[in-house]
Amino acid sequence: YNALLLVDSVAILGGRPLFMDAWNIDVLYSGSQKVIGAPPATSPISFSLKAREKIACRKTRIRSYYFDCNELANYWACDQGPRRYHHTGMVTSVYGLREGLARLAEEGLEKSWKDHKDSSELLYQGLEKLGLELLVKNKEIRNPCVTTIKVPPGINWKDVTDYAMKNYRVEIAGGLGDLAGKTWRIGIMGYNCRPENVQLVLRVLEEALESIKK
């Protein structure tokens, strides 16, 4: 179809195997605040040669100066032309991103992948013991970094999240879009990818549900 393959890896980069070249991904972008564990505000992005050629041959002028990838490529010194000023980068955020990547490199990608897989399996088992149903049935296609849980009938999702935050300072997110009010989202990623944190969120969930049912 002569189409480009764009992959959103915001909540997965560093948490499970991801190979841009081997999988023929044309555009891959992520976020600094998830598995990488750096402050939000930076978004790592990579383009294949095919994507770069497509962008360079664009026939219509892009309306946004700041999101013009040709201008950004020059600013990032990706082309051969003299470097032109484009914007003032967030230097402190870049330092934060570097520190997050350094931590991930020190830990090792393979270990990070294994830790996220093991923690997600521990979470799945605990949720099943609580009688909760996961949105994604097939374990093979679940994201080990973010788990989506169906809110049981008769339960107000926000009562649970409010209880967790008020009593334990544990944040459990609600669903988005069509799943708003119908699901919870739990992120076990980066520094938080530890068995003790999985056990904590399971204990908080169990206690919150019991408190609401009384």
Task: Answer yes or no: is pLDDT of 214 > 80.
Answer: no
- The C-alpha atoms of residue 121 and residue 25 are separated, in whole angstroms, by 28
CA distances, 128 to each of 118, 121, 131, 149, 183 (Å): 16, 11, 5, 10, 15
DSSP assignment, residue 8?
Answer: E
- The C-alpha atoms of residue 13 and residue 39 are separated, in whole angstroms, by 15
Q: 131 near 155, Cβ under 8 Å?
A: no
Q: What domains does the chain contain, in order, with CATH numbers?
A: 6-106 (3.40.640.10), 108-213 (3.90.1150.10)
pTM: 0.90
Closest CA to 184 of 152, 139, 211: 152
Amino acid at 52: R
Confidence of residue 18 (pLDDT cuts 50, 70, 90): very high
Task: Answer yes or no: is pLDDT of 61 > 90.
Answer: no
pLDDT of residue 81: 86
Which tens digit of pLDDT belongs to each residue from 109-120? 999 999 999 999
Mean pLDDT within 18-39 = 97
Q: Which residues pair with 8 in a beta bridge?
A: 29
Handedness of CA 31, 36, 37, 39 (dihedral sign): negative
Closest CA to 69 of 82, 88, 86: 86
Q: What's the burial of 29, exposed, middle or buried (CB within 10 Å: 0-12/13-18/19+)?
A: middle
